[in-house]
Amino acid sequence: MVSKNKEDYLRALYLFNEEKKKLNVTNLSKALKISKPSVSQMIKILSDENFLRYKKYSEIKVTKKGLNASKNLTIKHRIIETFLKEVLKLNLKEVHSEAHKLEHAISNKTILKLRKFLKNPKCDPHGKEIPS
């Protein structure tokens, strides 16, 4: 099982990839609002666990394992956001933070059922594509 902290990094990796942003320690530090040394430390851990490849002072490359894990987290997050908005009628401003809390605890099995319940939505409430 991947820790909540690692999952936050993995999800950020997906978002950088999706938005075609340069993935490096500086940009990741800014996006996550975490110090560069802390980001460097976690990048080393994620690299050791084969979620990404990184050489000091160079761009971070996401591995297939990292892409799969980060995509899965993004799917969870966006399905939960959709459920919160469409079914529970939460305010659009609230759905992101609530989904972020829930994405770490919900199982893949439950996400599949939620996705089916929601009739396989293509986009989240913010208009972002929900990966298949």
Domain contains 125: no
Structure tokens at 54: 């990184």
CA distances from 80 to 7, 21, 44, 121 (A): 16, 25, 30, 11
Question: H/E element holding 52?
Answer: strand 52-53
pLDDT digits (tens, 9 = 90+) for 36-45: 999 999 999 9
Domain contains 106: yes
pLDDT computed for residue 1 by the predictor = 53
| Stated pTM of the model | 0.88
3-state secondary structure of 5: helix
Residues 42 and 95 in one domain: no
Residues 35 and 83 in one domain: no
pLDDT digits (tens, 9 = 90+) for 47-101: 999 999 988 878 899 999 999 999 999 999 999 999 999 999 999 999 999 999 9
Phi-psi region of 126 (alpha: psi -120 to 50; beta: other; left: phi over 0): alpha
Domain contains 105: yes
pLDDT of 2 > 90? The answer is no
Domain count, the chain: 2
* Cα 54 to Cα 106: distance, rounded to the nearest angstrom: 30
pLDDT computed for residue 20 by the predictor = 87
